Structure 1
Amino acid sequence: MKIGGNEPKGADYWTKRISEQEMPALCSTVKTLEKLAKDDVSSMAILGRSVMHDNALTSRILRVANSATYNKGISQVTTVSRAAVVLGFDTIRNICITAKLLASLLENKNLTPGVYQRLLKLMARSFQAAMLARMMLAGHDEEMQEEAFIAALLYHLGESAFWSMGGPLANELDKALDGVDDHVATLSLVREHLGTSFGQLTQGIARHWGLGEVLIKSLNNPDERMPEIRAIFVANKLAQELSEPYPDLAELEKRVKQGAEMMGLKPEEFKNRAIQCANATHKLAEAYGAKELIEFLPQTERLLETQESLNAGRWREADVSFQLRKLKELTGFAINKADINQVMQTTLEGILQGVGVDSCAVLLLSPSRKMLQPRIVLGDNSEKIKREFIVDITEPTHLFRQAVELKTPMWIDSPDSPRWRLQLDEQLKKSVSKQGFLLAPMMVDTKVIGVFYADRGLSGRGFDEEEFDNFTHFTQLANVCFSASVRQ
């Protein structure tokens, strides 16, 4: 894909541009700090020269050094040199790198709202992951904890640096990714625009800046069984899932179990520790002068809410006020010709929270019109749907093909009943809810481009006539919006 007449550049180009044009001061500081030998007499003098002319940086370092995370009841430190004596040079060096990184990435105020929000979400997620990784290594020495913290914080440095640059390419990629919820599709779009992946860009920067071995290993071998590498991996996965609008319950439980095993705790105790860690993260973000991140930090309290919902059998019920709010938004989209991705997202949100379902998705037709595959999935079973709902509709009698050809909503009350069972292939029978599901065509004018899907499989509930009508109302209004968006 050409942007402004140029081909995508690749990892080396972006690494050099970020290092030399976009963030030369950060690059220089990090290189200097990473080269300092442990316990070297000159280290403190070099560190001092790196920060002495930056009053704001010095202030942040001291605030962090005196925060509850680092100051364990000792008297307040008032100089960077004293902080290094009390906390250790390596800890102060990492605090300095973190402070410089946050300040550098957040200083560009000329970003579009969409790009700036992507940057804040990503940085908040990385900051929380860093604190979780540190927490998981509580039984190890402080040096390992600090190494894991900084590596987890920098785990998505390439992507953060790209968004912080702003500009036409960032704006274009932001729009292209809007509403895309599939990992493979996201990777493809990033490669198409940049000529590389964000992961490769992070590796390039890590090598160029001389960042620590722990970060390099965590990027190249995320499945490594070393405690610090394992902590970084699990912390990132956990923070990522907790940042989703509708976390996958199974994925959350899996990561909680892994973290609990690492710490020798029961899952419930690990969840409580994670919530305490989140509270500390809020305070530390303030100490670093990064209050902008607080609103976007992953919501770890969901860990308890999730378990309570599972234990008590409480699931999403119909919410009439939420339905009306989302229907009103869709009506506005029909008038103002909103982006198709925005329409899909809003429709699914209305179905999920308003109608009260466990899972819902948009499945788009392939160019050959022989396959349906997930585009956006919301709800508690999203990863399973993304993985398993690649639907072959070449058979004329296939249920999903009928939804496309008949152009009408369908309520499949029991997939195993004589009425429906011969119209589903064996693989799909294993994936759809046994309690039934809802289908409706996605249409632009009279052309079907995909289908809406909704179920209540995890909670073991079915649907009634009113709920089917509400689902139908949302999908029909969405089709009006789709048609309006493509008209001149």
Structure 2
Amino acid sequence: PHGQPQPRASAPGPPPAGLAALLARVQERLEALGELPAFSASLNRVRRVSADPEADAMAVAREVMKDAALSARLLRLANSPHYNRGQGRVGLVSRAVILLGFETVRNLTLTVKLLEGFQAEHPGVDLARIQVRAYLGAALLRELALAAGLREAEESYVCALLHPLGELALAAALPEEHLRLQQRLAEGAERIQAEEALLGAPLHELGRALAASWGFPPAVTATLAPPPEVDGPLPRDAASFNRALVPLGHRLVRRLQGEEGAPGEAGEPLEALLARVSRLAGVDHDRLDRALEGAYRRACALAEGFGLDPAALRPRVTQTGDALRDRWARRLAFLADAPEETAPSAQPDGRPEGGGAGGAPAAGACAPRRERLLLVLRQLAELLAARRGVNQVFAKVLEGLVEGAGFHRAALCLLTPDRRAYALRLAAGRELEPLREAFRHRPLDPETDPLAGALCRGQTLVLEDPAGAPRPLPRELLAAVAPGPLMAAPLALEGRPLGFVYADLSLGPEPLRAHHHEDLRLLVSQARIALHLAG
């Protein structure tokens, strides 16, 4: 049955000499690198969800499966002899989470290299684009699997997410050779021939060899290859479906983005490719169209959630002579250029981006801010991995709220030892003296002070209009602080309230936007992790 433990297959024979040499070089570099780099946003979300006592394994797995590198790392660990002692090979991320346990998954996120740090060291290698394109292919396969009535859509999704494993590993381990390969392809070389000439083996063979060496099940490794030469209806089983449609789905994604069928590359017309995918999947053309557009919307939303410009997914809009491909390119380019209007939620809880007060700013308008936020998140991950003091973490969180999230002021307020008042301990931003004075030692009165009420109830406070809200801030506090729209997120340890993180927009008539909500939640989750680690 789909998703059940599979018997261990006999060890494959040795790879050909060219592949063996390439595999050895990649493995050596990956060991030095410390595995494939993952998005800091993925790591932070996995930490947050895995620390939530109400979360289940699928909630954690959903966050892991937004990142191909993190998914590969988790499956590798779940198939290692230390963790997998006779349970059969694991090919589902949700099963890997159950096998490893939340604490192991959470600790794993503290040791993974950050993709953003890799990109800073190798700006010419677009590892983020490879990752998001992997997600795009996976989202498409999930839709097709559901439309085809397969019982285990996660298996199709994971196989598609890992399909570019060879390309991902080469870019991370041997970035200079990846760049040379991209240059050769841009000059019109045929893909497989260029890979063999430059690397000694095709990238799909590198991916399969890596997956096999990491103990991935045959159900996964069989899909890391070109599609089989089949054209008729497929048997209604996951193995046949995934073996044919995972590579075809990725070929379709490349064709739509202008990365297949370029001069010097063999490629069937898009109309024929779409017809073949429709026929093999057993879905009509309209359903396939909806699956493609939905997958593209989700990939754009994911890119935006990772702080990337969704326009990086924009297909090449040119006259190629393939009228259908050109129409699709224009259609998808529009989605990439206007993700805030067309994309579904980029947020883990499903709230639509731009759904907060004031909507979302135009795409790309906040790129510098997002870059600063990603830098702070990288630094927070390093502080947490090194088990630095909570004060350093809190200072960095406040910096992120001001420099990355765009709040004007941010502060950490903690309960006094007698738990009868709260006081400001750290602050960041501009015009801080009124804040320091107002929060120097404020009595804890949850009945009249919404900040104290949020702290005692353990609920995030959002006040768009602190003076006109149903429960406004006390008059003397409003006069002293002049806050503008504000938020306050409570801090607790083992259910015991400790204080709150405060952030406001005090310098102008700016409303709270959706990114303020998400960024505050993301950054405060790092503070909560630090408290948990400190005990």
User: Normalising by the residue count of structure 2, what TM-score does the alignment of the two structures yield?
Assistant: 0.40
User: Which has the larger share of helix?
Assistant: 1
TM-score of the superposition, structure 1-length normalised? 0.43
